[in-house]
Amino acid sequence: MSTPTLTITHITTATTILNINGTTFLTDPFFGSIDGSEYESTRVWEQTDLKSLGLDAIPPPPHLINRRGPALQLNELPPIDAVLLSHEDHLDNLDPEGRKLLDARKVFTTPDGANNLRPRPGVVGLRPWETVTSTIGDKVFRITGTPCKHFPVGEVTGFILETDSLGVHAESGKPNAIYFSGDTVYIDELKEIGKRWHVTAALLNLGNATFEFPVGSIQITMDGEQAVRLMREIGADVMIPVHFESWEHFKEDRDGLVEAKTLDPITLFHAPSSSTSTNAYNILKRASTAASSTARGDFQLEVTTAPPTTDQLRNILDYVSADANAASTSRNSKAYAVSDVIKGAKDAEDAVRKFKEDGGSGFVRPITVDWTNAQAVIGDNESEILRMVHQIEEGN
């Protein structure tokens, strides 16, 4: 099998060309004026519960302002095999020019979007985690919808793309895939992506798009910190940030993304019914509160009752290993047995095998993991947990 290839051409906003081994996908087609323009979106506002936003009437236009148009025009595009449309009701994701590309072409979008785009026979609506198989170009793709949280009204979807030529990740055994987030803020449900697929490239709609209302600000796309958190949680190899330039409602541009503060993550694999795990949780919560009140040492506490991904398990085993050579990246002050992580495991490979066989039921909790500094603490040893936290403070 030949080596898989992926090239990405960014045109504007969330409009990109994904070329996967010769098959071309276009994402969220916007092809407005090169010089930028102002837009009204009364149709969207008419579907919105204005009172929930503290409004008595639809705000006067312009509702959207764009200062710079696309790098390519329709007549400059290569042949496009299919369109990934996260939602069809927002102008910055699909404008009248971009809408012309939907005719006589395979389009994947939301169920509401598919209904609104009738009678185009090539349009398919996807619910969250729904998968369809489609022959696109000369290849068979499996396309899965992913959940999104965006504006208070309307449906939005992200996409996972799989095809046999992308292969399987050697270590985890999960299919390699490409992820396009669509417009969404960070939500916990997206962690599921890392459990099902090995994401080789994640195309993320960022920009911290925000609207101000009498009831307060509403953020509708991810900022840089949320993007980094999601990348860590799903274990993606590469992030390609898009959707952060030229529109007035985007609050974090390229410079802002570069400068975005990211906190070191500490994950507690938690069993709420266990008193030991509850004690570890309380230690971490107190430490988090104390750290956030100072200028140094703040960290991002992530608490999950789910087991780790296979890749995360391998890292944890490396961090806690009693073998000095195997644990060369670890800063742990204490070594643990492999069976302390996976019940009954004899060595790391046996632990991974048991983990895959039982779906993670033999994974021991609580385990606290500092991914940045390659450390893990099993149980509720307060001095070891606080030592981990203090090392983050020293690193900052």
pLDDT at 311: 84
Is the pLDDT at 323 greater than 60, yes or no? no
State which amino acid sits at residue 291.
A
Count Cβ atoms within 10 A of the Cβ of residue 80 and give its class: 0-12 exposed, 13-18 middle, 19 or more buried: middle
| Structure confidence at residue 260 as a pLDDT band (50, 70, 90) | low
CATH of domain 264-395: 3.40.30.10
pLDDT at 124: 98
Is the pLDDT at 327 greater than 50, yes or no? no
Distance CA 252, CA 268 (A): 30
Least confident of 6-20, 47-61, 86-100, 268-282: 47-61
CATH of domain 6-259: 3.60.15.10
pLDDT-above-70 percentage for the chain: 93
pLDDT-above-90 percentage for the chain: 64
Which residues belong to CATH 3.60.15.10 in the chain? 6-259
pTM (two decimals) = 0.74
pLDDT at 108: 98
CB-based contacts of 148: which residues, under 8 Å, 6+ apart? 86, 156, 157, 158, 181, 182, 183, 184, 187
- Helix (H) / strand (E) element for 348: namely helix 348-358
Which residues belong to CATH 3.40.30.10 in the chain? 264-395
pLDDT at 152: 75
Per-residue DSSP letter, 327? T
CB-based contacts of 146: which residues, under 8 Å, 6+ apart? 128, 129, 157, 158, 159, 160, 179, 181, 182, 190, 193
pLDDT at 393: 66
Is the pLDDT at 271 greater than 50, yes or no? yes
What confidence tens digit (pLDDT) does each residue in 201-231 have?
Answer: 999 999 999 998 998 889 999 999 899 889 9
Count Cβ atoms within 10 A of the Cβ of residue 122 and give its class: 0-12 exposed, 13-18 middle, 19 or more buried: middle
Is the pLDDT at 84 greater than 90, yes or no? yes
pLDDT at 262: 65
Least confident of 7-16, 63-72, 120-129: 63-72
Residue pair 93/157 in contact (Cβ under 8 Å)? The answer is no
* Mean of pLDDT over the chain: 89
Is the pLDDT at 376 greater than 90, yes or no? yes
* Range 235-245 average pLDDT: 93
The span from the first CA to the last CA of the chain, in angstroms, equals: 46
* Range 273-289 average pLDDT: 92
Higher-confidence position of 300 and 305: 305
Is the pLDDT at 294 greater than 80, yes or no? no
pLDDT at 200: 95
* Range 40-48 average pLDDT: 86
Q: Please, what is the angle between helix 275-292 and helix 382-395, to 10°?
A: 30
Give the distance, in angstroms, between the CA of residue 38 and the centroid of all CA atoms in the same chain.
30
pLDDT at 48: 87
